[in-house]
Structure formats: C-alpha cells, structure tokens
Amino acid sequence: MAKSANLYARIEPEVKEQAETILNALGIPASNAITMFYKQIILHNGLPFEVKLPDHPLDVSRMTPEHLNTELEKGYEDIQAGRTRPVSEVFTDIRKEYGV
C-alpha cells in the first residue's frame, strides 16, 4: 500500500533528538518506527505497553490511617533497634541511583 497519509506531532526537541539518535544507530528511519508503533497499537488493540500511574505504597495521601500508623510504628521500631543510616549517606545513595 502506498504511503500517502501525513502525521504531524509536536514533541520536545530533546526527546526527538535522543530517540532519533537511537533509531539512526539501529538503521531505522523515524517514519518506519512510527509505522511500527502504529502497527503494534493495531495488533494489541491498544498501546503496546502498560500505561498507568505508579503504585506508591508509602505515599501518605494514599494511606489509610491504620496503614500510616503501621508504617510509623515500623519506623519507630527501627530507630529503637538501631537500624538507621546517616541522612548524608541516604542522599548520596539517592543521587547515585538517579544520576543527580
């Protein structure tokens, strides 16, 4: 089938650049990658990956009062048992994990 439909989309320049760098390394033109994506949508009858909000079990806004009390009690027990780490060490680990 001849390719005659046009698709116009506005995306962040950095996202476009990063994706096209990878596609170029793979030898796949962006238009082919978009066609592949659309074909996967058709095959899956939806997006070809899961789209949902992440589950944050320790997000206070999502906790019941009972769950919050349970988590606070666990923290208190850890302090009493000496299972703690200096805050500077924790933030160093976070920075390493997220490349900050």
DSSP 53: P
For residue 22, give every residue at least 6 positions away whose Cβ sits within 8 Å of its Cβ, in sequence order, or none.
Answer: none
Task: For 68-90, write each residue's pLDDT tens digit.
Answer: 999 999 999 999 999 999 999 99
Domain annotation covers residue 51? no
Domain annotation covers residue 4? no
How many structural domains compose the chain? 2
Task: For 10-66, write each residue's pLDDT tens digit.
Answer: 999 999 999 999 999 999 999 999 999 999 999 999 999 988 877 766 788 888 899
Residue 58: per-residue pLDDT: 72
> How far apart are the C-alpha atoms of 38 and 7, rounded to whole Å?
11
Residue 3 reports pLDDT greater than 90: no
Residue 98 reports pLDDT greater than 90: no
Pair (94, 68) in one structural domain: yes
Q: What three-state secondary structure class fits 17? A: helix
DSSP 55: P
pTM: 0.53
Domain range for 26: 13-44
Pair (64, 94) in one structural domain: yes
Domain annotation covers residue 8? no
Domain annotation covers residue 7? no
> How far apart are the C-alpha atoms of 84 and 4, rounded to whole Å?
63
Pair (94, 65) in one structural domain: yes
